Amino acid sequence: MEDTKSAVMNQVRQEAAMTNARQLIEKVNQHCFERCVPKPGASLSSGETQCYTQCMEKYMAAWNIVSTTYIKRIQQESAKGAGGGVF
Amino acid sequence: MDQPTAQLDSNLDLSKLTDRDKQELQQFLANEGQKARIQQTVHSLTDVCWKKCVTGTIRSNKLDSSEASCAANCVDRFMDANFTVIKHLERMRVSP
């Protein structure tokens, strides 16, 4: 049985990962549904499904670029010491 | 998964923690909190920049080079704009 401290840490990590995943799924669905299923039919066509897979991977690629750029930027800004405490 | 997340496992007895553990946990929680805020911002920025930069039909699972540079520019310009707001508010505060 792990100690209390590690148990708390693990639970917090798990919940953070879950929140992050849920958020991503929600956004992917929102954007890709709009893009890939403009007129919902009786079922998802194979074209729509294929579009969905591509769209999802593309969205995650965009997420990664945004993440890298944003983190680089806030590191630069905090190195400058400007905007103290804005982030 | 649908459980409210503010509740710690009731088997955990936090009163057993030593002061050192408590301090370490506090630091850990502060770090996790910051990470979560950054991730949250990345989600909303991706949302904004996707709408601006990926406008065509989805034909591939990769961003093309103009979409990729648009996304990076989008983040940087958003930050510029953000700082402009802060600076302007600061000026208004000093000389209303």
Give the span between the Cα atoms of B69 and A67, in whole angstroms: 13
- The shortest CB-CB distance from B49 to any of A53, A55, A66 is to A66
pLDDT bracket for residue A82 (50, 70, 90)? low
pLDDT given at position A2: 65
**Whether ipTM exceeds 0.95:** no
- Say yes or no for a CB contact (<8 Å) between A11 and B9: yes
- Say yes or no for a CB contact (<8 Å) between A31 and B43: no
Q: Please answer whether residues B29 and A5 qualify as being in contact, where contact means their C-beta atoms are separated by less than 8 angstroms.
A: no
Q: Please answer whether residues A27 and B14 qualify as being in contact, where contact means their C-beta atoms are separated by less than 8 angstroms.
A: no
Task: Pick the closest to residue A28 from B54, B66, B21 (CA basis).
Answer: B54
Nearest chain A alpha carbon to B56? A35
- Residues of chain B found within 8 Å of residue A12, distances taken between Cβ atoms: 28-29, 32
Residue B5: both structure tokens together: 């997340």
One DSSP character per residue, A2-34 reads --HHHHHHHHHHHHHHHHHHHHHHHHHHHHHHH
Residues 5-24 of A with CB under 8 A from B: 5, 7-9, 11-13, 15-16, 18-20, 23-24
pLDDT in tens, chain B (96 residues): 454 455 666 667 777 788 888 899 999 999 999 999 999 999 999 999 999 999 999 999 999 999 999 999 999 999 999 999 999 999 999 887
Cβ–Cβ contacts within 10 Å for residue A81, how many?
A: 7
pTM given for the model: 0.84
- Per the prediction, chain A carries an average pLDDT of 90
Give the span between the Cα atoms of B54 and A64, in whole angstroms: 14
Residue B71 Cα, gap to closest chain A Cα (Å): 6
